[in-house]
Structure 1
Amino acid sequence: MKNDIGPYRIYVLLVVAGLISAEIIWSWKKDKGAYHVKETVSNLAVFAGFQFSKYLFAGYQLSMLVFFAGLAPFRLPQSGWVFLLTFITADFIYYWFHRASHLWKPLWAFHMVHHSAMRMNLTAAYRLNWFSALVSPLFFIPAALLGMPPDFIVISYSLNLAYQFLLHTEAVGRLGSVEKVMDTPSSHRVHHGSNPIYIDKNFGGVLIIWDRLFGTYQPETEKVVYGLTTGFLSHNPFMLVLQGFIDWFKPAGSKSPIVTSPPLLDISPEK
């Protein structure tokens, strides 16, 4: 098994590196300023910590789902139709998990790091909290109790996150009728906007139909201003990951030590 997985991971990393390189070239040629040296390095540092955390918490995540699957009154067979059902169910659960992560402060503590990026590019997709694996399995317990195979749940959630990597870019414009059903880069740019019209919109992972059904859909109508509403946070990966928890435990009324954002247009690589 290890011999099969190893090359697969290398191929995935090569594809990811190729897409990021292509986006950097596009940004440079079009003078889009989508990349900034310090922010990109911090994105990759956060990603490295997240990759380590995946190995650290993998056993906990799977054992949690296996335990509750054992409590299910019935078990669905491992078939193509069941996988499709599991994938759609996982996407529906992800919508509510993501929405709750914006509206409930304890969950926002985990999610804040992802929205702290001041620029939208493929490396920003990897600003993921190192401890998010502690809470994410809890939201997928209902799928396990409905008899869906735990490995199908894990694969569905992994594919959901993998798809979202492609959404973090300004290189792709509007996609017409596709945006009525699927989450797209345009819809996800809206989600990352700190513009008042964009806050708490477009929570979908793969499908955008949940946002349309539950009143959280917003099309991209004005230039997106990225980052937290409080401005620039830090380039320190530990600060990025931990600041949400620090803010969570602060006494009511105390101010966050978030500094003022640098000028948004000053996004050239530092000399």
Structure 2
Amino acid sequence: MKTDVYNIQFFFAGFVLVALLVEIVWANVKKKSVFNLKESLGNFGIFIGNNIMKPVSLGWKYMVFDWISQFQIFNIPINVFTVILTFFIAEFGFYWYHRLSHETPLLWTLHHTHHSSMKMNLTTAVRLNWIGAFVSPLFYLPFVVIGFSGDVLLICVALGLFFQYFLHTEAIKKLGLLEGLFFNTPSAHRVHHGSNEIYIDKNYGGALIIFDRIFGTYQAETEKVNYGVTTGFFSNNPIKVNFLPIIQYLKGNWKREKQRIKEQKS
């Protein structure tokens, strides 16, 4: 199973380049300004860093899943039905991990990396925080405790992320009746990346949009999307993009705690 997951992610990495070339051709033919060279190079730098750490992050996922499996309440068998159910469970877990990454300040410092991109193209999809790869597996542990296979769960998560890669584009317009129905779409995900007031904290779904419908966080694309975070341009430096938000957060908390102690002593 470990080899299967690694092969899926390796295939994903190769497919990134092929699909990206198609998008570049589309952008040039249609004369669409969807790329910024410095930003795209920064995204590739982040992508390379994640792949260098892939053996470690993948090993970490299996380690925590293997450890938690000793506490399983049930032993859910692996068959067609439970594999499909596991995919839905993985999507449910992703929805809440994604939503909490927006609503919880500490998690936002990691997710900020992905949203600080000022353009929407396929390189944006791989702009993922290096630390985040070690945090996200923790949100799926309750499902392993219930009895779902950790191996199947990891494959479902990987497939969901593979699907999401194609959502980061302007080349695919709104899909008519399919919008907001069942699967996530590029239009719905463009909304998620928008800093427009109407778009903030909307459309958290991964491959599926149904949980946004259920929990009231769905928003259709109704106006031109302004990409990036509300504070504007952040950086194209992969190191800053990955670590500066969390450093600023911890530094701010340290200053507030220092001030609190000072006020108590006065």
TM-score of the aligned structures, taking structure 1 as reference length? 0.88
Partner of 1:233, secondary structure, is: coil
Partner of 1:70, secondary structure, is: helix
The Cα of 1:39 is off from its aligned counterpart by 0.8
Matched, 1:214 2:211: no
The Cα of 1:177 is off from its aligned counterpart by 2.3
Matches for 1:173-252 after TM superposition, within 5 Å: 173-179=173-179, 180-251=181-252
Change (3 A) 1:148 1:49: same
TM-score of the aligned structures, taking structure 2 as reference length? 0.89
- Runs of 5+ in structure 2 lacking a partner? 256-266
Structure 1's consecutive aligned runs of 4 or more residues displaced over 4 angstroms after TM superposition are 1-14
Instruction: State which drifts further: 113-122 or 8-17.
Output: 8-17
The Cα of 1:112 is off from its aligned counterpart by 0.4
The Cα of 1:135 is off from its aligned counterpart by 1.3
Amino acid at match of 1:176: G
Matched residue, 2:16: 16
Change (3 A) 1:7 1:227: closer
Amino acid at match of 1:73: I
Spell out, residue by residue over 1:106-143, the C-alpha distance to the aligned partner (whole angstroms, 9 max, x if none): 10111100001100000100000111122111110111
Amino acid at match of 1:46: I
Spell out, residue by residue over 1:182-210, the C-alpha distance to the aligned partner (whole angstroms, 9 max, x if none): 11000000000000000000000011111
RMSD of aligned residue pairs (Cα, Å): 2.3
CA contact (8 A) 1:66 1:144 kept: no
- Runs of 5+ in structure 1 lacking a partner? 255-271
Partner of 1:242, secondary structure, is: helix
CA contact (8 A) 2:125 2:168 kept: yes
Instruction: State which drifts further: 221-230 or 55-64.
Output: 55-64
Instruction: State which drifts further: 48-57 or 103-112.
Output: 48-57
Matched residue, 1:263: none
Larger proportion of helix: 2
CA contact (8 A) 1:115 1:227 kept: yes
Amino acid at match of 2:73: P
Q: Distance in 2 between matches of 1:141 and 1:191?
A: 26
Q: Distance in 2 between matches of 1:11 and 1:64?
A: 24
The Cα of 1:13 is off from its aligned counterpart by 4.2
The Cα of 1:57 is off from its aligned counterpart by 2.1
Matched, 1:30 2:27: no
Matched residue, 1:161: 161
Instruction: State which drifts further: 218-227 or 27-36.
Output: 27-36
Partner of 2:239, secondary structure, is: helix
CA contact (8 A) 1:69 1:148 kept: no
The Cα of 1:7 is off from its aligned counterpart by 8.3
Identity of aligned residues (%): 44
Q: Distance in 1 between matches of 2:114 and 2:199?
A: 16
